[in-house]
Amino acid sequence: MKTKSIITGILAGLLFGIATPLSKIIISDINSFQLAGLLYLGAALAYFPFLVKHCNAEIYALKKTGNKIQIPGIILFGGILGPLFLMFGLKSANAMSVSIWLNLEMVTTALLGVLFFRDYLDRNAIIGLLLTLAAGIIMTLQESGSGIISGVFILLACIFWGLDNHLSALVDGVSPQTITFVKGLIGGMTNLTIGMFLGTRVTHPEYVPVALLIGVLSYGVSIVLYVKTAQNLGATRSQMLFSTAPFWGILLAWILLGESLSLKTIGSFIILAAGIIVMNLTSHKHEHLHKGVVHIHEHIHDDDHHNHLHEGNSDQKTKHSHLHEHREGTHTHKHYPDLHHRHIHR
């Protein structure tokens, strides 16, 4: 079990989950485009110092790896369309309902993964998925309808983010910080420009830095943690961990907005916790082929996949990133659908 990746996935969910009730507080004074833009500009702002410091290395990585589909797709689906449709849905629904509907992201991610992205689900992962989905359904049963249109907007946002999740898991060589910066900058500027063009006046300018701060934590730090988790566990398993976000949002809506918290909510938390535990008891093991590849990503020499030699006295026991080669080979071990295990199953 990759404990660190599990923790980062849950933390990513926590940071993203608190964005919904916090955004609900200020969205009445900022239009949907403006708020979506500010949230993602906050994400870009969080990692601007990182990009300045590592600019040469990141440009080198971009040149050495092929992400011609992944990066534009992440920007379009995750940086522009996803947050925009979330804001549309949030405009006419209460924060708790939107938090619950966001569980659809896990379902869309799982379906897209199985159908198109070779994200294999073993027995435990399927049980974990069903338990996590059951927790969301139980929560939904106690909610009154907040409008079909809002639900459709949230569903579309979840589909776009599902595509974003899988593309993020497949990015090779570019750091999560750079992905977040580029997605935040382009997506943020696009939505903010549209929002300003609509001419809606911001009645409370003091909310602008608040929106940026929410973006730093809930979209900046959260996205980086999620991308790291997805590259280690696969998009679907990572999304199960990230699906804790609505529950964190519900807790904060209860604390800040006075929305109700029932026994069903507590029961849902228990079922969700069980689903996360079962999902991470991986039972997937078989003989598989690794094709030869040269790529760049963060790794450590603690497995059977990174046994290359380093020049000089560089430390091979701590995480590091550089261009390295994997020779073709076949072996057997338990594994997740990470960057090295996206093979076809029969």
Rounded distance, CA 46 to CA 217, Å?
A: 8
Q: In terms of DSSP bridges, do strands 320-326 and 329-334 run parallel, antiparallel, or are they unpaired?
A: unpaired
Q: Considering the domain boundaries, does residue 326 fall inside one?
A: yes
Q: How confident is the model at residue 140 (pLDDT cuts 50, 70, 90)?
A: low
What 8-state DSSP symbol labels residue 81? I
Helix axes 207-214, 32-53, angle to 10 degrees: 60
The verdict on 154 and 182 lying in the same domain is yes
d(CA 117, CA 281) in angstroms, rounded, equals 22
CA 144 to chain centre: 28
Least Cα distance to 183 among 166, 169, 164 occurs for 164
Number of domains the chain is built from: 2
Structure tokens at 108: 């869309």
Domain hosting residue 34, numbered range:
3-285
> Quick check: is 144 in a domain?
yes
What does the pLDDT read at residue 302?
61
Give the integer Cα–Cα distance in Å for 89 and 28.
13
32 part of a folded domain = yes
Q: Is the pTM of this model over 0.85?
A: no
Q: At a CB cut-off of 8 Å and minimum separation 6, what does 165 contact?
A: 78, 105, 109, 226, 230, 235, 238, 239
- Residue 295 and residue 196 share a domain: no
Regarding whether 295 and 281 lie in a shared domain, the answer is: no
Per-residue model confidence as pLDDT tens digits over 270-305: 887 787 777 666 555 655 555 666 656 566 666 666
CA distance 46 to 43: 5
- Indicate if 176 and 73 belong to the same structural domain: yes
Q: Do 157 and 296 have their domain in common?
A: no
Over 80: is that where the pLDDT of 48 sits?
Answer: yes
Backbone angles phi, psi at 294, to 5 degrees: -120, 120
SS3 285: strand
Each residue of 150-174: pLDDT tens digit?
A: 778 888 998 998 898 888 878 777 7
